[in-house]
Amino acid sequence: MDASLVGTKPDFTAAYNHRWPHSYFRAHLALDYMIPDRAKPVFERVFADYRRVRRKNSLKIIDVGCSYGINAALLRTNLDLDELYAAYLEPSGSLSRRQETEHSDFFRNCGLRDDIRFVGIDPSFRAVRYAQSLGLLEAGITAVETRDLTVNERCTLMDADILISTGCVGYATEQTFARVYHASATSRPWVVAFAMHPFSYDAIAAVLRGFALETKLVDRFRQRQRRFSTPAERETILNAMAKLGMEDHLERTTGYIYASCYISAPAGEAP
Ligand SMILES: C[S@@+](CC[C@H](N)C(=O)[O-])C[C@H]1O[C@@H](n2cnc3c(N)ncnc32)[C@H](O)[C@@H]1O
Tens-level pLDDT at each residue, the chain (271 residues): 665 665 677 778 888 999 999 999 999 999 999 999 999 999 999 999 999 999 999 999 999 999 999 999 999 999 999 999 999 999 999 999 999 999 999 999 999 999 999 999 999 999 999 999 999 999 999 988 999 999 999 999 999 999 999 999 999 999 999 999 999 999 999 999 999 999 999 999 999 999 999 999 999 999 999 999 999 999 999 999 999 999 999 999 999 999 999 999 999 897 7
Q: Name the residue with the closest Cα to ligand 1, atom 13.
A: 65
* Cα-to-centroid distance, 102 and ligand 1 (Å): 25
Quick one: pLDDT at residue 7?
60
pLDDT at 271: 76
Ligand 1 centroid, distance to 20 Cα (angstroms) = 16
225 CA from centroid of ligand 1 (Å): 14
How are beta strands 256-266 and 162-165 bridged, if at all?
Answer: unpaired
Instruction: Tell me what pLDDT residue 6 has.
Output: 56
Q: Where are the alpha helices (DSSP H) in 165-248?
A: 174-184, 202-209, 231-243
Confidence (pLDDT) at 270: 78
Q: Tell me the pTM.
A: 0.96
Distance of CA 206 to the CA centre of its chain: 20
Strands (E), 46-189: 59-64, 116-121, 139-141, 162-165
Question: Ligand 1 atom 16: the closest Cα is on which residue?
Answer: 171
Position 4 scores a pLDDT of: 62
CA distance 244 to 251: 15
pLDDT of residue 57: 97
CA of 166 to the centre of ligand 1 (A): 8
DSSP classification of residue 65: T
List Cβ neighbours of 84 (8 Å cut-off, separation of 6 or more): 25, 70, 73, 74, 95
225 CB near ligand 1 (under 6 Å): no
The structural domains of the chain, with segments of one domain joined by +, span 3-11+34-75+113-266
Identify the CATH assignment for 3-11+34-75+113-266 out of 3.30.360.10, 1.20.120.80, 3.40.1190.20, 3.40.50.150: 3.40.50.150
CB atoms within 10 A of CB 6: 10
